[in-house]
Amino acid sequence: MVPIHTACGLLITIVASLCPCGPLGAFVVALLVACYTQFDKVVRNQYYGYPDEWFPSVSAATGDRYPARSIFQILIAVTAGPRFAILGLWYLYASSKLHHPPTLARVLLGVGLVRTVACGVFVYITSTDHHDVHDIGMLLYILCTFPYMAGIIWCERRLSGVAVQQAVRWRKRLGILFVATLGPLLYYFLQHKVHRVKGAYSIYAMFEWSLIFYDIAFDACSAHCFHRLKILVVDAGRASERRASLAPGYCRSWASTGIASLRSLPFVKAWSAHVSTLEGVYFGADIYLAYVFWSLLTAVPLAIWYFPLWHMGLSGDELYLFANMGTVLLGIPLVRRLASTCCGFLHLATVLTLVAYQFPAPEHRLYFTAGGAFLACIAWFSSFSARSSDRDAYAWLLGLIASCVAKAACRTNNPIWPIMHADNGGWNLTGLLLGVVASVLIIHRDRRSPPPSPDANTAIAPTEKPATTTTTTQGWLPASVGFGALLFALHTVFSDSTTPLRWAVDGYPHIGAQPVPWGLLSILAMCGGLALAQCPQTLSTRWLAYGVASIFLFSATSGWLSFFGGLGFAVFLFSIAPNLILTLGARPLGRSLTVALLLYNLLLLAHVWTVAYEFVPGGPLLRERTWIVMTVMTLALSAGFMGARARPHPSLYTPTKQHPQVQLAYEQRHRATRAVSKLASLALCALGALAYLSRVQLHAPQPHTPAEHRAFTAAIWTIHFGIDNDMWASEQRMKAIIEELGIDVIGLLESDLQRVITGNRDLTQSLGEALNMYTDYGPASSKHTWGCTMLSRFPIKRSSHHLLPSPEGELACAIYATLDVHGTDVDVIVSHNGQEENLLDRRMQTTELARIASTATNPIVFLGYVVSKPFGEIYNLLMGEGKLNDVDPTDWDRWCEYIGFRGLKRIAYARISHGGITDTEIQSAKFQLLGAPRPGNRMPLGKYVSESALPEALHYPPQFRHNGQRGHRYHVFNEPRYFD
């Protein structure tokens, strides 16, 4: 017996939840596996391969290659049962509701069966097996789809019920999209087949995949029809007993006494605990998807930076920074409703863009990353206008903290960035799979919790999917600018836990807080601020004054004082962030997001312009004026703060004003959100502590050269911001070559990565830990230089940071340090001077460096970037007025990197190719301490000798001779040079 009732049965819920997700999951898994295992093969067609074709067709991904083909066939077989079940259930539902045309329901059942069997034909008989049979099955499937969609829409339009009509609306939209896609699909197929246009087949494949999505989503709409359907399996032998049990008196008696007893049963308690745990799992999925959001948002400027870096100016790719502006589409009610009801699928589409790491071409990784950021912004910003936006706001902020923890564990590289892959420490595939699982969990939660009924007497359970808030236009501008400033501050200062430490670092011995272990305090401050968000005091004017004071302390001071200001800034910002988010969600999203994201993007550009002003239009207006950017941010945060003070929190929602049950449900959900967010914060703090404690160095650095030789190896290298020539993070490759060359002291230029365009990374700390070396970060991130850093295996006794004169061009930086080299003080200068366009700058900068070098009383080594030919004007300024010896005056093939010395004996010199890590070679030299050095005089240079004339401990490694390894080799001279 299959009666139809007004309640939703368990079996229908399972079938309705499995049917939409199962086939889609099969296709998505097949696509991911095919791209991961055999990308070059599945994108290749009869005319072209990668990079001309870059996206596989449905048949290529699901049917051409093992293991994707086998996995897909297994998964699609698992979903076959629910697929047939949904056909039967719809027929039972429609035939019982339609009074005069039940025949149409039978016809549609038959068409649906033929359509499903045809799907099995082209799935299990691929074009490789039998091309004609495969094409016949696909053509039959498409032909059956038209009457199937039209017939179902025609039938359901004649049925009553809000849920059915909602299904009709969605079916119409999906049907129109399905038909509209066929035109461009055919066009690009002809472009590929007839005109043989490169890339046309990849675009055709994208339209083909969209047909799959529309088709599955069309069937998923059946769930709206089934939510009031229930299947009962009845034992006929006990029918009379069941009838008695359903008598009204029995029901009243059971209702009065049975519920209390039922709640005390052990399995009911276990079920309740399971539901509570499940809600925690859902919240964990939200946090992970927020982590994906922040990963993509921070990856966009990082991926963009690669292109102007090589063009030495604007490249046009900077426009991808504004991909987030596409969220203004949320101002359209249809788009907003679509984003709200399909949020899980939006998250899934966002996660799939993490596959960018599979594309070798940098531009393709940028396209995927920018697209993912756009989808992530749509998914998250649409959720901020929901009744559960407090839950989403906390998850969004915890996702940022989770990204800081992940970067701390991976030495400030986000493991799912598009610059990462398995060979340089990336966890891209793991991150992608976890994202798919999290997205499926959100889809399941949305399916499990249907939208609340419009009936005023219907209570809303705490797990139900929220409706949108009642918006007000009052105060929308302060809310918008407040959120834009919040987003900028979170991205610029708190997307890495080491940024507040590097903002105003000083020289030795008073260097201030170091990333390990003090970066943990940044994470604790963020979590602590989030825990304070519910305190009423955080909306007082005194709290605003505290926040403004913290920002000033952070921006205007240095060392520990600046770090303490940064911690106060973190507490303040995270304590007000949920209220700023909720305030934004209560305003019209279209105009609010337009202003907020425009301000956010303009502040990002201004933040970059303060350093990169020489290569951009209007750059001098913001030259070295970070204080302007911070002031605008502070004023915008203050405006948003004052707007949030006037927000009536739960009473803003009109349904909450009218229905006490809704109010109770809201308060229960709010308490649950606070509890689970606190647990998540504690977990993240614990993980952060483990990450930082595991990075504490337990052994003091040791020089490569034994102390009895009283020698050391020095080097200079311009590292191009830790991004190699193919846009991959290069820290691990840099670590390998520095270690293999046996370098004891190295100056690294273009090393300040604590900016949005370089990912807010701490390459200095990362290399220092990996190589077990002492580090000097150089001038702080707030000093408007591109950075110079020094790594040393000898203790750094003292150091000073210098901003060299730069009246026309970008600020040049220098480090002047004293090292304890085998018990003797040795001075080292590391500098990055200006470019060839500004001769005045280079003259003044080199004159200052020469002054510093000439006044040194210890033996000294100069490791610097000075744009000049040997014996040119700038060269003579440095070597002559600085009283320095050139490491090899006969080396005429130099342009920017130079090594000078005084009071030491040179014993070797080598030039090593960059190996694709950057565009600049490594220059290295070996020096030996003199018994009685005379640092005030320039020493005469020795003569060339063979390698065998020196002890083996002073030799350069042999593996870099001839062709070398990993792209590194001795070049120019093809071998090291040795001196007596």
Distance CA(468)–CA(479), nearest Å, equals 18
* DSSP state letters, 263-328: HTSHHHHHHHHHHHHHHHHHHHHHHHHHHHHHHHHHHHHHHHHHHHHHHTS--SGGGGGGGGGGGG
* Structural element, H or E, at residue 819: strand 812-821
Task: Give first-to-last CA distance, the chain, whole Å.
Answer: 101
832 is catalytic: yes
Report residue 935 as tokens. 């640092």
Picking from 24, 27, 19, the residue whose alpha carbon sits closest to that of residue 71 is 27
Distance CA(329)–CA(321), nearest Å, equals 17
Picking from 456, 667, 486, the residue whose alpha carbon sits closest to that of residue 570 is 486
Tell me, what DSSP letter sits at residue 965?
B
Picking from 402, 399, 280, 396, the residue whose alpha carbon sits closest to that of residue 685 is 402
Sequence-distant (≥ 6) Cβ neighbours of residue 31 within 8 angstroms: 56, 61, 62, 68, 209
Report residue 388 as tokens. 């559960």
Query: Cβ–Cβ contacts within 10 Å for residue 56, how many?
Result: 28
Kindly list the distances between the CA atom of residue 561 and the CA atoms of 503, 517, 557, 762, in Å, as whole numbers in the listed order: 11, 17, 6, 20
**Interior CA angle at 685 toward 683 and 691, to 5°?**
105
Q: Is 976 exposed, middle or buried (0-12, 13-18, 19+ CB in 10 A)?
A: buried
Contact 688, 698 (CB under 8 A): no
Contact 629, 609 (CB under 8 A): no
φ, ψ at 799 (rounded to 5°): -155, 155
* Structural element, H or E, at residue 11: helix 10-42
Whether the bond between 976 and the residue before it is cis, its omega within 30 degrees of 0, is no
Distance CA(216)–CA(359), nearest Å, equals 28
Picking from 882, 876, 880, 805, the residue whose alpha carbon sits closest to that of residue 840 is 805
Contact 380, 290 (CB under 8 A): yes
Give how far the C-alpha of residue 880 lies from the chain's centroid of Cα atoms, to the nearest Å.
50
Distance CA(779)–CA(787), nearest Å, equals 7
**Of 832, 914, 962, 968, catalytic:** 832
Contact 781, 799 (CB under 8 A): no
Overall residue count recorded for the chain in this entry: 980
Which amino acid is it at 90? W
| Strand 788-792, strand 860-865: pairing | unpaired
Contact 299, 759 (CB under 8 A): yes
Tell me, what DSSP letter sits at residue 244?
H
Contact 820, 861 (CB under 8 A): no
Kindly list the distances between the CA atom of residue 61 and the CA atoms of 34, 37, 123, 869, in Å, as whole numbers in the listed order: 5, 11, 11, 55
Report residue 401 as tokens. 């903290």
Distance CA(860)–CA(829), nearest Å, equals 8
Which amino acid is it at 220? A
Phi-psi region of 312 (alpha: psi -120 to 50; beta: other; left: phi over 0): left
Sequence-distant (≥ 6) Cβ neighbours of residue 507 within 8 angstroms: 776, 798, 799, 800, 801, 815, 817
Residues marked as catalytic: 832
